[in-house]
Structure 1
Amino acid sequence: MEVTDIVLPDVDTVLDNGLRVVVVRTPVVPLVELRLVVPCGRTVPRDAARSELLAACLLHHHEAERIDRELAAVGGELRAGTDARRLILSGFALGGDARDGLPVLLDVLAEALLGFGCPPGALAHERAALAERLRVAWSHPAAVARAALQRHRFGDDFAALEIPDPAQLPAVAFEDLRALHASAVRPAGSVLVLTGDLDPDRALALVEAALKCWPRGRGFARTPGPPPVRGGRLRPYDRPGAVQSHIRLSARALPRTDPAFPALQLADLAFGGYFASRLVDNLRERNGYAYTARSGIDSAPGSGTLVVEADTSTASTAAALAAIRGELHRFVRQPPSAAEIDAARRYAIGSTTTAMASPGSLAMAVANLVEVGVGPAWLHEQAERLGSVTMRHVMAVARKFYDFRAFTGVVVADGASATVAGLVAGDDGDDQGDGDGDDDNGGHGGPSFG
């Protein structure tokens, strides 16, 4: 199945109340998937705790048992979550020739959107459960490394918008959640995506009937975009007793709406975005420095950020950093060859086709693409867009965005301060390593990124 066969929207319209509705018919399995993305901006740290707790309580209802029975009868489920920019409701139900679950799914959704129906007595339980989930999340090394990188590149206040401190939850009262629901859970600026085995025109009519009473509201708040990432020294974060080191590097990238983004996408794949990339070959296959190594592009509305990640043993930290820096040097001096670009292009098209074969993955991808401003047809045009990228285009973005001086980052490890200090002290400022861990300083010199 080709990407162009499954992802061109059948419906893309905005209702009178401001809700954008996108419907894509994909009769792969007799299932309907729903994704609703509601802007729920965070501007100060306490907003993170309020948003997370609202998501935890949103689907609570004094008639919860009845709602559960109705969803179960159509093989359905509805759940709520949130991130730093939005509230996300995800659900599914039977579709096609099976018992039609879309009307039931939309009715349950409408009950959650039209009013905050959580019983006051349920708040204490949800607050305690959320606090425990957050404590578990904060104990995970990947979350610690992510938070450290966010603080380093964007500052403490911006980083605090992402994952709340459990200590902030007790201050969130029931009336705070009711007020947040009233102000933020509104259709203007929201996007509802339906995919699966459905009739597009009927699906739109059902949405209009279920959500016609959802009031538009006065507007919606958006989380401010991240500040530009600037190159600079690595920042150590000591984690006593840790047996692994977590390297997280970052630099400025392009927003997905930029015409040069497809070239950057192929460049990133060639650098570290999949198993056949230079970074993975060096750090994992040839040298065994890292358990995981990858690069990627974080897209947000109006911005993009490059991220290079590696998880290593403590003993391999310096060598892994030197190898990453060497690969960045080499990527600028020797950008991807025609063969590397063609391999990355085939991987990008093939992996997109495979991922979008699932109605749920397709629904979330379409919602994300609408949010960042490229629209639901972006996937439909993926193969043609990547096919038009030339070697010259990739060379240009490789030289512009992968200069090691544009990167900054963090090292989270046992003894990270001593490790990073040693790396900086051993740096001659003119490293021209080949990325094999065999630089002039024996593979243990420091990447002072900037």
Structure 2
Amino acid sequence: MSAPTRRSAEEIGSTPAGPRALPPLRPQRAVPAPDEVDTVLDSGLRVIAVRRAEVPMVEMRLRVPFADVSGVENSDHPAVAELLATTILSGTQRRSRVGIDDDLAGVGGEIGFAVDPERLAVSGHALAEGLDTLLEVLADLLLHATHPDDELARERERLVERIEMASAQPSIIARRALQERRYGTHPVTQEMPLPEDVTAVTADAVRALQAAALRPGGAVLVLVGDLDPSDAVRRVEAALADWTGGEAAGMPALPALTARDLLLVDRPGSVQSQLRLSAPAIGRTDPRYAALQLANLSLGGYFSSRLVENLREDKGYTYHASSSLELDPHGAALLVETDVASEVTAPALLEARYELGRLAVVPPTADEVESARRYLVGSLLISMTTQAGYASTVASLAAHGLSAAWIREHPARVEAVTVDEVAAAAAEFFAPIHFTGVVVADAARCADGLRALGGVEVP
């Protein structure tokens, strides 16, 4: 008996008449709504508990508005808040750092804290049977963290070192310059404190900020896992009964993002340039949002996009070029970014502007829209497949005042978008005249080319 003939992948995918046609995609199935309770406690804390019993675990996400509302320029709030997040696990009035770790380890749990200009974020998980312990440790940290002087001194030194290292990174320099170009001195720009501000922070200042600003009103606690939602809410209410004190401090409204020339930020000796372009956008509740998402994907939102095809595949200017939507409870923005060699700074900016203009006047084709649609719907569904992913997605939506129903319903909205609606969104939002931004580069090497190109403020 002779051995079977082996065919290559190309042969399998072809016929004498040409390549085999891909079978049509099946209709998108509706995402079933899980068993869920979404309620606000008397303290003002919003609790969302969702039953997802795939594994015997519980994921926890807590988002507390934690903005600087002092109105004082060069406030020390970012530095104090950052040290609060790094020292809160150092111990409480009842537990040492080791005691916290031991209690969580006993239920297969972890807790982590992070802070940004808008909120304090807490992420954690535990075995389902350890939910009470997870909530008890959380309450102890929120109410009784001591921020010991010696721990704060050590964390202060570590934080200064991390900031100094990060501040030398081109991406961090570009991000800081972009935020200032877009929003001036608004607190949202204070994404990283200055080393000298961190050095000046005392343990008393950290304790005072926790007592004054870490409040439940307006905060959101999400629990997703092998739990009974109503029972989980009762457990939260019991564990956090003493967490009171009114409304947490929300971020003031962002200033309008206005179009103007890009700003050249000199970085002497740099061998690469960072291009960051930004324009106003719309949020999730706008009826045009799904069309905007598809237009953005076609431009640079994933690998099969126009920016990647032009700047990476055709010109070879960069390894990475992208466009994205930045969503904030107070606004939304488009961001186009790429890093290129210094000698092609002006040509790369020219091509990026060209692709923006081309998208606005030569909108995505039906094939481009369909490819973006499949990618977007698949990404949405993937984000909900695990307990951790679902918890993070729900917490993010809740920060924008939305429920989990939005993410379950959004695939259908994406499916309903027409090619004409994507074209309209492309024309409305991606025209180059709507953008501002920064070019971080060695001015000695790039200024002449950028000046000749125009639309760049060269100091």
| Residues 3, 379 of structure 1: 8 Å contact kept | no
- What is the 5 A alignment of 1:12-91? 12-43=38-69, 44=72, 45-62=75-92, 63-91=96-124
The one of 102, 113, 116 equivalent to 2:142 is 113
Q: For 1:148, what is the secondary structure of its paired residue?
A: helix
Deviation by residue 1:149-202 (Cα, 9 ceiling, x = unmatched): 111121145465221111101322222222211121111100001112323233
Distance 1:396 1:448 in 2: 30
Change (3 A) 1:136 1:393: same
Q: For 1:218, what is the secondary structure of its paired residue?
A: coil
| Residues 66, 119 of structure 2: 8 Å contact kept | yes
| Residues 248, 308 of structure 1: 8 Å contact kept | yes
Partner of 2:178: 149
| Residues 271, 279 of structure 1: 8 Å contact kept | yes
Q: For 2:89, what is the secondary structure of its paired residue?
A: coil
What is the one-letter code of the residue matched to 1:229? L
| Residues 147, 159 of structure 1: 8 Å contact kept | no
Distance 1:196 1:3 in 2: 23
What is the one-letter code of the residue matched to 2:450? L
Runs of 4+ in 1 over 6 A off after TM superposition: 446-449
| Residues 81, 115 of structure 2: 8 Å contact kept | yes
Change (3 A) 1:239 1:6: farther
| Residues 53, 227 of structure 2: 8 Å contact kept | yes
Q: For 2:161, what is the secondary structure of its paired residue?
A: helix
Q: For 1:289, what is the secondary structure of its paired residue?
A: coil
Distance 1:7 1:310 in 2: 39
Partner of 1:287: 315
Change (3 A) 1:8 1:135: farther
Change (3 A) 1:7 1:251: farther
Distance 1:110 1:101 in 2: 14
TM-score by length of 2: 0.87
What is the one-letter code of the residue matched to 1:384? A
Partner of 1:375: 403
Task: Tell me how far 1:6 sits from its aligned partner.
Answer: 6.6
Q: For 1:58, what is the secondary structure of its paired residue?
A: helix
Distance 1:6 1:125 in 2: 48
Change (3 A) 1:426 1:303: closer
What is the one-letter code of the residue matched to 2:38? D
Partner of 2:450: 423
Q: For 2:348, what is the secondary structure of its paired residue?
A: helix
Return 150-159 or 33-42, whichever deviates more.
150-159
Q: For 1:412, what is the secondary structure of its paired residue?
A: strand
Number of residue-to-residue matches in the alignment: 424
What is the one-letter code of the residue matched to 2:84? L
Q: In terms of Rg, which structure is larger?
A: 2
What is the one-letter code of the residue matched to 2:180? R
Unaligned 5+ runs, structure 1 = 428-445
Deviation by residue 1:277-334 (Cα, 9 ceiling, x = unmatched): 1111111122211111000010001310000001111122222111111111111111
| Residues 9, 376 of structure 1: 8 Å contact kept | no
- What is the 5 A alignment of 1:122-161? 122-158=151-187, 160-161=189-190
Change (3 A) 1:420 1:254: farther
The one of 251, 275, 282 equivalent to 1:223 is 251
Q: For 1:290, what is the secondary structure of its paired residue?
A: coil
Change (3 A) 1:280 1:116: same
Distance 2:271 2:226 in 1: 48
Q: Does residue 250 of structure 1 match 2:263?
A: no
What is the one-letter code of the residue matched to 2:120? L
Partner of 1:213: 242
The one of 196, 212, 233 equivalent to 1:183 is 212
| Residues 63, 220 of structure 2: 8 Å contact kept | yes
| Residues 13, 22 of structure 1: 8 Å contact kept | yes
Partner of 2:12: none
Task: Tell me how far 1:420 sits from its aligned partner.
Answer: 4.2
TM-score by length of 1: 0.89
Distance 1:197 1:408 in 2: 47
Identity among equivalent pairs (%): 45
Distance 1:425 1:338 in 2: 37
